[in-house]
Structure 1
């Protein structure tokens, strides 16, 4: 048995590698730069974790996904493997301690975001670490043609100068041929080995259905397939609204979005993972690092903005190899509004300039000032004050964040501060009478010596670690001490903060990134056109369309998607007679598709086909309320 397989069995309890994993690991062990294109669920992390465990030294993992970094570090620690992540909210002293551990404490994995490499002193420390492999996750972010370009990724190639003999492993789940070439060039990979696992998922049926009443169709699908399911929606309100609607229909469901506190995310996730609820309704904040093999159905209630994201989200179904379904529900009005939904909210140069200047004014930052200043931020308040459109403003701020001009933190943590308001001898007396509380109070006193004199911010995570007690127990104690008038205690949710990474230079700042903005806007328009093509193409297998988008050719249709199933069905009814009956009905009054189906007694597929044909021939039109009417 190979040493790699021994490591896999020992720590990950798998008896064999998946397709191309072992080949990637061998290339890395031979010291080759490597580009690996593995679709969602393909086991990318194994490709750098196993070779790292086989050699002395440390693997540097660069990833833009904080949640995924934390998840992987936790999983490694649960296996008894030493791993650290330099995520947001860690102060300089803590970072120094963590990097000391990496240098002297036999740690095997150091995870960090590419933005961390822009700190010179962190880079200097990394240069002295015993690194044996550099893994770049979500490597498509290095390409301006990738679906989530981040300029900070462009700085990664400087690590080549410091570690010329250390292999680079670039990993991504979705990259077109143009993006693959860009990754190799931008990361300065030296004659890399290239591995690509097929994007085809033989057990996953891609379905596109038109439906005026999406919830009604979703209900039918979920009742037919009562196994764990995910419904993707585009915003937080849709999460809670959809859960309420599903519960009224008798389903057990919960929700997940970026605005939940970490403990709520964990609780909702556990309900679904433990199958106490069937359905997780979520925004695209949900899914990264989720390892649940028996997800039967993924339903998208709204149009995705690009096929890269759609493929990843759909790919969370059927990882156990059993037949599963990725269903995209489309309303004619969805397609009609797609351009305004995705394109009109893209910021152009003038709007980006406006938002940047207003933001500086909002925080009273003068020209040439602002670097490293941090502020709490409320998007709604900002947009209201300056009469700015919310979604377009949000996209402008996200672009500024991606460009590294500012950093937006959405940790959704609780900001806690306290001060003892009784004499120290009374605090000692309280501890003697309440020994269960003594360890936490002593830890607070040792960590924050001035807490008797001034209101002091607390890091409950640090206290939890030092006192070896859960964070929840600390919060409960603080509430109890406040009720007994022992402390003055303030806790508020600190959902968003903005840090300015550069001095304010207005036009000069924005002009520097205009080219990237134009490139990204062009890319997003192309991506939406690809989504519309996927939806509107009634003459091609859905699996073939997806594979073609990712540069993979296939000569055979999948046989299980919505197109292939429809192709197999004999058309019993004459299309012209259905069209004639629909026109007769619409002469009386306007109807939606479901009513037309009931009244004509034809199948849903035949009615939809006839309606589409009539619309293409300019015989009828669909109104914003989803009623069909004769064209005048």
Structure 2
């Protein structure tokens, strides 16, 4: 079956986007390939189609568990067999999954780069019939990339074992320096390079100064009632902004990493089905989201870097229709954001202290701890050791990126159970409750100690084995608890923390300290680029973005906030004052209503009102409304 037929059959598209077909052909020709496709460019199809056209299995290396899950779910919907090997999976489960790859006719194996650090996992992968190695989010391999992960450097070792297997490196955001570094670090042999321009001609990039951001959002959403995304920095802001919008009459929902999987799915579906116009989200939202008719993406706080901003803004207008990427800026934002991003970066001494206390917190001895997993509450940890929360989170995120630990950002519920019946009584219980048998049998087969000690249950694993939902697992255990047949504890926690290495204290931290300093400098430079983007009032916003990504020959877009301002014929204060007087003949209005009606800036409005007040042409009442004298 040829590539286009497969595309029609599984993805229901009649044609490829440029340069998807050329990338696919390069891979089919057995060539190492580098593809830079900005967000929405359809990267996954570039490895999924050629993998389906060849015998064997495609190895996909990705750093993001949520993205792996999303892609696997999408493949399974299309009746394509795929599975993932992520951190936190036991050795037995890993062996089962790899057996499935070898003998179960699977076409895609997703794994995190840290998994390649296990020699026995690498040995098993070497025995698989690999037909293509795809490296997603390939900027993580570069020390100059915005998400450098040293584990990605191990990928080049696969070249030694799969000499004739093509490598395909994919990224959505990489500067020229990062692009070159990716090809070098992965050991790509004479790679075919494909780059799609970062230009999104249908997106108008807007930066507006706004003291009252909620009012400006209200204006934007009223004018553009199509689906919208509002990005905020933290979970609290998600709830607050969404609630405020609902109060103003806009149907809104929210999405962040602290929601359960069900809540995330439910809220996202409400927005996808357009039962809500707006989804207010942290940067946890967006991976794998391809809603074509998003009209507006609004950032109400400064992003950390232009790479992230470009990706998030690029979720607007994927249907090719006119769309808006709006960034709202208040006077204090730059200093506030600097203190939130740069002043909380950990140095080597703080990193070492956090790592030592983390091991002490879980009572891990020197030389121990590898592959141990624990439920982890960041706030409790910080409270116990009097650590600043954000700086501590950054330290943990850094050692997570270095592969020392794995910290799941997803909310989870830990379930601990202990059966109070002996084995003979359990048989009687099963005969009286036959509907519960598949769940309880799966637990007994996988957790032999469940009669003796409180045992943590992986509900996802049991659900798979029992062919039931996770809700059904919990319901069965709750029924047992009511009948005093088991002890059941459920504990909500922010994340799961897994130690990927033995504890070696200073040796561990000294090994990664040079990367810490390098990344701190990189983040400072990236933030300076963000400040330049929002502060420059003379350069086209689209050109500023394109120049940052190495496209230096771009022309002005004509539709960003700067270009529109250049096109405007500036009104003199006298003309503005006359327009205001004409408007006020109909009714008394507030300054905001005047500004909105005449499409003025707040500065223009205030200056003209001041002239009119000083000349006794208008007056202001107790309700802050202006009227003609």
* Deviation (angstroms), 1:448: 4.3
Change (3 A) 1:364 1:41: same
8 Å CA contact 2:87–2:112 kept in 1: the answer is: no
Deviations 1:82-108 (A, max 9, x none): 111112332111111111121122211
The aligned residue for residue 283 of structure 1 is 282
The answer to whether the aligner puts 1:607 opposite 2:604 as a matched pair is: yes
What CA distance in whole angstroms lies between the structure 2 residues aligned with 1:600 and 1:72? 46
Deviations 1:570-592 (A, max 9, x none): 111249999xxxxxxxxxxxxxx
The aligned residue for residue 420 of structure 1 is 419
The aligned residue for residue 165 of structure 2 is 166
The answer to whether the aligner puts 1:516 opposite 2:515 as a matched pair is: yes
Alignment of 1:90-239 (within 5 A): 90-239=89-238
Change (3 A) 1:458 1:366: closer
8 Å CA contact 2:412–2:495 kept in 1: the answer is: no
Deviations 1:271-298 (A, max 9, x none): 1111111111111000010121111110
Deviations 1:402-429 (A, max 9, x none): 1122222334322222233346565555
Deviates more, 1:108-117 or 1:442-451: 442-451
> What SS class does the counterpart of residue 407 from structure 1 fall into?
strand
Change (3 A) 1:304 1:148: same
* Deviation (angstroms), 1:306: 0.3
The aligned residue for residue 490 of structure 1 is 489
Change (3 A) 1:493 1:14: same
What CA distance in whole angstroms lies between the structure 1 residues aligned with 2:374 and 2:433? 39
> What SS class does the counterpart of residue 329 from structure 1 fall into?
strand
What CA distance in whole angstroms lies between the structure 2 residues aligned with 1:445 and 1:354? 41
Deviates more, 1:442-451 or 1:412-421: 442-451
8 Å CA contact 1:597–1:607 kept in 2: the answer is: no
Deviates more, 1:199-208 or 1:467-476: 467-476
What CA distance in whole angstroms lies between the structure 1 residues aligned with 2:385 and 2:237? 27
8 Å CA contact 2:595–2:602 kept in 1: the answer is: no
The aligned residue for residue 317 of structure 1 is 316
Deviations 1:243-292 (A, max 9, x none): 11111111211111111111111111111111111111111000010121
Deviations 1:116-152 (A, max 9, x none): 0000000000111111110000000001110100000
Alignment of 1:259-408 (within 5 A): 259-408=258-407
8 Å CA contact 1:575–1:610 kept in 2: the answer is: no
* Deviation (angstroms), 1:46: 0.5
8 Å CA contact 2:151–2:403 kept in 1: the answer is: yes
Change (3 A) 1:299 1:411: closer
8 Å CA contact 1:372–1:502 kept in 2: the answer is: yes
Deviates more, 1:307-316 or 1:443-452: 443-452
Change (3 A) 1:410 1:541: closer
8 Å CA contact 1:227–1:295 kept in 2: the answer is: yes
Change (3 A) 1:52 1:235: same
The aligned residue for residue 498 of structure 2 is 499
The aligned residue for residue 614 of structure 1 is none
Deviations 1:507-559 (A, max 9, x none): 33322222111111111111111101110111111111111110113442111
Deviations 1:210-256 (A, max 9, x none): 00010110011111111111110011111111111111111211111
Change (3 A) 1:566 1:294: same
Alignment of 1:70-109 (within 5 A): 70-109=69-108
The aligned residue for residue 568 of structure 1 is 567
* Deviation (angstroms), 1:569: 1.4
Change (3 A) 1:574 1:594: closer
What CA distance in whole angstroms lies between the structure 2 residues aligned with 1:126 and 1:575? 75
* Deviation (angstroms), 1:173: 0.2
Deviates more, 1:201-210 or 1:485-494: 485-494
The aligned residue for residue 9 of structure 1 is 8
What CA distance in whole angstroms lies between the structure 2 residues aligned with 1:599 and 1:277? 25
Deviates more, 1:144-153 or 1:72-81: 72-81
Change (3 A) 1:422 1:364: closer
What CA distance in whole angstroms lies between the structure 2 residues aligned with 1:572 and 1:385? 60
> What SS class does the counterpart of residue 230 from structure 2 fall into?
strand
What is the TM-score when the length of structure 1 is the normalising length? 0.89
The aligned residue for residue 590 of structure 1 is none
What CA distance in whole angstroms lies between the structure 2 residues aligned with 1:19 and 1:391? 42
Structure 1 residues without counterparts, runs of 5 or longer: 579-592, 612-632
What CA distance in whole angstroms lies between the structure 2 residues aligned with 1:218 and 1:235? 18
Change (3 A) 1:431 1:62: same
Structure 2 residues without counterparts, runs of 5 or longer: 578-589, 609-629
What CA distance in whole angstroms lies between the structure 1 residues aligned with 2:41 and 2:463? 36
* Deviation (angstroms), 1:600: 14
The aligned residue for residue 43 of structure 1 is 42
What CA distance in whole angstroms lies between the structure 2 residues aligned with 1:594 and 1:29? 63
Deviations 1:411-463 (A, max 9, x none): 43222222333465655555555444344344444544554444333332233
Change (3 A) 1:88 1:358: closer
What CA distance in whole angstroms lies between the structure 2 residues aligned with 1:600 and 1:301? 23
8 Å CA contact 1:575–1:606 kept in 2: the answer is: no
Deviations 1:488-523 (A, max 9, x none): 212222432333333434333322222111111111
Change (3 A) 1:199 1:609: farther
Could you say what the CA RMSD is over the residues aligned between the two structures, in angstroms?
2.6
Deviates more, 1:500-509 or 1:224-233: 500-509
The aligned residue for residue 616 of structure 2 is none
Deviates more, 1:237-246 or 1:42-51: 237-246
> What SS class does the counterpart of residue 332 from structure 2 fall into?
helix
Deviates more, 1:102-111 or 1:494-503: 494-503
> What SS class does the counterpart of residue 219 from structure 1 fall into?
helix
Change (3 A) 1:201 1:488: same
What is the TM-score when the length of structure 2 is the normalising length? 0.89
